[in-house]
Structure 1
Amino acid sequence: MAAGFGLVVRFTLRGAEAAEGFDTLVARTVQNIRRHEPGTLVYATHRVPDEPHVRVFYELYADRAAFDDHERQPHVRHFLAEREKYVIGTDVTFLERLDGERAGGHGGA
């Protein structure tokens, strides 16, 4: 498989209070991801402007092995267990890179 493995995750939260708790959990988790996971290239979390109880994550890993390593991390295992009290729905789309470069790279369109 080509380098680069990603996913987009859409979380639907239980309500305003759940959204606040979820955002706090995410903030703590992201700090550890950035500090301890060199194979995690992008871990971006988003609010959806007209859907206050929805969060969308975009995750990009160096390869499938880096994603598997991410999933084994204690801070990720904690997030996966704790998120259940805030989330009523999760939709995951896995991505395999076809083409493209980082912004500012050579040869891009």
Structure 2
Amino acid sequence: MSEGFGLVVRFSLRDQASAKAFDELCAATLEGIKTAEPGTLAYVVHVPVGEPLVRVFYELYADRAAFEVHETQPHTRHFLAQREQYLADVEVTFLDVIGGKGSVDKTV
């Protein structure tokens, strides 16, 4: 595959109760992603070591069109509508693939 589109999203959560509820929202969203999005190559939720109120998402899509499909899915729209109540801050970084190992193979 010569294309690839990714992003990293860093969510800072309000408090421990918000973190628990956000994790539940993520779990439900991930079920939809696993079953309905063949163009989503990776969608991984991380907790940085030593930062219990932070979640980092790594998302990799086959291309920009696959990302756009992801954004229109009911489970994604639900996540986007519900997440704000749990957040203190959010940072989004969009990524273009230039090389690596995995399902995206693009050389410099």
TM-score by length of 2: 0.92
Identity of aligned residues (%): 56
Aligned to 1:77: 77
Aligned mates of 1:71, 1:3 — CA distance in 2: 18
Aligned to 1:38: 38
Aligned mates of 1:8, 1:102 — CA distance in 2: 17
**In structure 1, what residue type is equivalent to 2:19?**
A
Aligned mates of 2:82, 2:21 — CA distance in 1: 10
Q: Over aligned residues, Cα RMSD in angstroms?
A: 1.9
Q: How many equivalent pairs are there?
A: 105
Cα offset, 1:101, TM superposition: 2.8
Aligned mates of 2:54, 2:93 — CA distance in 1: 16
Cα offset, 1:48, TM superposition: 1.3
Aligned mates of 1:48, 1:80 — CA distance in 2: 22
Aligned mates of 2:84, 2:28 — CA distance in 1: 16
Runs of 4+ in 1 over 4 A off after TM superposition: none
Long gaps (5+) in structure 1: none
Aligned mates of 1:49, 1:101 — CA distance in 2: 24
Larger % of strand: which? 1
TM-score by length of 1: 0.91
Cα offset, 1:67, TM superposition: 0.1
**In structure 1, what residue type is equivalent to 2:7?**
L
Aligned mates of 2:17, 2:30 — CA distance in 1: 20
Aligned to 1:28: 28
Deviations 1:62-98 (A, max 9, x none): 0000000000001100000100110110000000001
**In structure 1, what residue type is equivalent to 2:15?**
G
